Amino acid sequence: MGGCHARRLIAFLIDVALAYVLFFAAARLWPGATAQIGADPAPLLLSITFGVRALPELIWRRSPGKMILRLDAVGPRWAPLLRHAWLLLPVPAALLIPTVPWYSMFAAVVALSAVFSPDGRSLADRAARTTVIQRGRGCALPG
């Protein structure tokens, strides 16, 4: 895995870790609210992850993980909503057919599309017309 892909993966994992922290903080503060989600917390976790990644990118052009690793998302202003839509796609599918690991399937497709792409852009990057770049190094990365 190249340095660019590794930095993006680490940034994503930081964002997911933050989403888990927020989920468990909500469960601690409002036990009744999180009890409503039932046995599968994935839809709520995916929604929180979408919020942690897309909303900061709308405002500051980078998610918390990208801020830490000095990565910038370059593209149209609305692009983060479309780029991170793959996080929300499994939510209705998981509610309709809970036995299928929808999130794993979507994550694998998005990740592999970036790894096997000649320019390192994922399907989500192409759909949103974005590129993620590393500040100061000229290393173009998929969004």
Cβ contacts of residue 100 below 8 Å, gap of 6+?
93, 94
What are the pLDDT digits (tens) for 86-133?
888 887 877 777 777 777 777 778 878 877 877 777 888 888 888 777
pLDDT at 141: 46
Counted residue by residue, the chain has a size of 143
This prediction's pTM: 0.79
Task: Find where tokens 């870790």 sit.
Answer: 17
The CA distance from 112 to 108, in Å, is: 6
Asked if 134 and 70 touch (Cβ cutoff 8 Å), the reply is yes
